[in-house]
Structure formats: C-alpha cells, structure tokens
Amino acid sequence: MEQFEFTEHSHRRYNPLNGDWVLVSPHRTKRPWQGKVEKPAIEERPQYDEKCYLCPGNERAGGHKNPDYKDVFVFQNDFSALMPDIPEGNYTKGELYKAESERGFCKVICFSPRHDLTIPEMEVSNIRKVVDLWCDEYKEIGSLDYINHVQIFENKGDIMGCSNPHPHGQIWGQYSVPVEPAKESKMQKAYFEKHGKTLLEDYVVEELKSGERVLVENEHFVALIPFWATWPFEAMIVSKRAVSNITQLSDDEKTALADVYKKLTVMYDNLFEVSFPYSAGMHQAPTDGEEHPEWHLHMHFYPPLLRSATVKKFMVGYEMMANAQRDITAEQAAQRLRDLPTTHYKTK
C-alpha cells in the first residue's frame, strides 16, 4: 500500500490557534513556481506627492491638514468605521434576530513622511519608531473604559483594499472582542489551563527544533510559515518570550520586532520582484482590565500572490462555502522564501 506523504497527497491541517482546519492539496501543483512569471514594471513614486492626503503638510479628505511631520504620524480616521459617541442600544426578536450598538474609534498611522517607501524599504531604526507608536497607542486606547480590544493592522497594495500607497497602517479600538481574536483567546486559554504555558511558547520551540518552516529569526523573534497556513505565503511573527501584549516588550525586543518585520517583508518583495501585497495584523491580549497570561503576542501576514505578481489566490467557491484550501504546502512556501537574497531587489 502506498505510504502517505505530505508533499504528494491531499490532507487536512489543524490550526490550534482558532480551532479551524485547512485542506492542503499539493498534488494539484507539484511544481508551483515553474509556470509563467510576469514581472510588471517597477512603480516609481515621488518622495512627496502633493495629491496624497497622507503626505506631510497636505490636506486630508476630511478637510484637516497634516502637520509637517518628520517621523511617524497618527491621527483619528476622518471616516471611521467605529465612533465613540453613539448611543447605547440593542435589538432582539426571538432567537434569530439580534443586534447591539458598538462603540470605538479608528486611527491611521503614517509609517514615514516619504511617499515612496514601504516597510521593507525603511531602515530598522525608523520601523522601530512605528513599533514604539504601536506601544503608545495600544496603551492609550486600551486604557479607555469602553475599549476591550485594540487591533493594529496594515493593508499593503490596492488588491488588499489599500486606497493610498503612502506607507501607513491602522489601529481600531472597540468595545467587543472581534471574531478572530475571540477564537484565539478561547483556544489559547484552554491550552494554558491544561499545560501552564502559552500555546505559541510551545509551538515556537517545536518550530525552531525542526527549522522546516522557519524563515528568519533573531534573539527575540521568529518569522515562520505556520504549519496550518491558508494563504500561499502566509507567515507569522512570534515573540520567543511569552508576552501578552506589545507594551511588555523590552527595548531590545522592540528593535528585534522591527528587524524581523523588515526581513520578512523584504523576502516578500523579492519573491516576485514587486511591492508584495498583504494584510497584516497583530493579535494580543484584550484590554478589558483582566490578566491574560494565556495570550502570546504574534503578528499574522496574509498575502494573496501565488505564482507571480499577476497570479493570485482568492478565497472563492469551495473556500467561501466549505473550507479553506491551499495547493502549496507550508514547507514548500518556506523553502521558496528562504532561498531568496536578503537584500531588497530594488537595490540591485
């Protein structure tokens, strides 16, 4: 009887962070990078764009004017999805209809005054300033009595819904804990109560032992392709020390986070020699005033590119109606990224 092989046969992989499963079908694309690879022309952007509403000194869409900022800059989103001053209310009709008001607010963080840069093109010292601002905002927003979750995230590329190429991210604070972090909270708590350690603390140890899915590491952080990855080149940055939120990082750990953030995104850009699109988000403990020793700080990266800058993976059909599915194994994706040069392709 034929022996089962991860690299040859369809199988399911379990995600212990959220309890979901992903279907892996490696036989569909045994040589996923040997097809046609199209390289679009490198987009050249100016350091300053007078029409950009995020550049220093420019007027934003909401009518406010940006200061002449020199480093990072944060402001309340002019068109926030969440508002702090809505009235409390709810609606219930039997067991099938339920709604409730949701308070919160949204902020925008400009990573750099330069319009032409992205995270992989920035210096680690400047990315560290982004990390410091994340810490300040998580602490400030999370201290509000009606904010129980702070979501830090970045959308890069227009196919990820990013309407402005100026390097920036967002921070949303809200009363309830959203669906994905709530799933992770439940799973991490169950693991911690059973083992007395965080789920990701044990997971990182095992991944570093094998090295098969590890992309890059330094003294304090590791970037890897999760065993249960769904997107083609999905990755995760995890702290080696178990900390529940970003404010608990030491000075050296904050710099280490900036370092791994840059190295991972350089790998992404080098893969198809294009500004690589992704959605990235930091998951950390709720800000409900309770202790959360079960939580372990980590950052997810979900990029859609599959074979080239023009061949993408979208969650449609089976993925939307049934189950997440991928063709490239996590191990193949990790090897592909590890084989790339460590310097950004634009510097060649």
Average pLDDT over residues 277-304: 96
In the chain, the N- to C-terminal Cα span, in Å, equals 50
Confidence of residue 312 (pLDDT cuts 50, 70, 90): low
Residue 37 confidence (pLDDT) above 60: no
pLDDT for the residue 28? 67
Residue 9 pLDDT: 76
Whether 27 is catalytic: no
Residue 223 in any domain: the answer is yes
Residues 106-130, mean pLDDT to the nearest whole number: 97
Q: Is 19 part of any domain?
A: yes
| Confidence label for 304 from pLDDT (cuts 50, 70 and 90) | confident
Per residue in 179-233, pLDDT (tens digit) is: 999 999 999 999 999 999 999 999 999 999 999 999 999 999 999 999 999 999 9
**What is the Cα 201 distance to its own chain's centre?**
19
The 10s digit of each residue's pLDDT in 135-146 is 999 999 999 999
Q: How far apart are CA 287 and CA 189, in angstroms?
A: 16
Q: Copy the structure tokens of residue 87.
A: 């009235």
Marked catalytic residue, from 149, 168, 298, 300: 168
Residue 157 has a pLDDT of: 86
Q: Which residue has the higher pLDDT, 226 or 322?
A: 226
Residues 6+ apart with CB under 8 A from 280: 153, 154, 156, 299, 300, 301, 302
Instruction: State which residues form the domain around 19.
Output: 11-28+48-347
Q: Residue 40 falls within a domain, yes or no?
A: no
- 8 A C-beta contact, residue 292 and residue 255: no
Is 236 within the bounds of a domain? yes
Please state which of the ranges 3-12, 36-45, 78-87, 251-260 shows the lowest mean pLDDT. Answer: 36-45
> 104 by DSSP, 3-state: which?
strand
Specify the number of domains making up the chain.
1
What is the three-class DSSP state of 282? strand
- Predicted TM-score (pTM) of the model is 0.93
Q: Is the pLDDT of residue 34 over 60?
A: no
* Residue 121 included in any domain: yes
Is residue 338 in a domain? yes
Q: Cβ(150)–Cβ(171) under 8 Å?
A: yes
Give the pLDDT band (50/70/90) at residue 322. confident
Flag whether 1 is in a domain. Answer: no
Residue 34 lies in a domain: no
Tell the residue number behind the tokens 């992770």, with chain if given. 184
pLDDT score of 15? 93
Q: Is the pLDDT of residue 96 over 70?
A: yes
What pLDDT, on a 0 to 100 scale, did the predictor assign at position 36?
46
Under DSSP, is residue 170 helix (H, G, I), strand (E, B) or coil?
strand
Residue type, 158: D
Q: Is the pLDDT of residue 32 over 60?
A: no
Q: What is the CATH number of the domain that holds 192?
A: 3.30.428.10
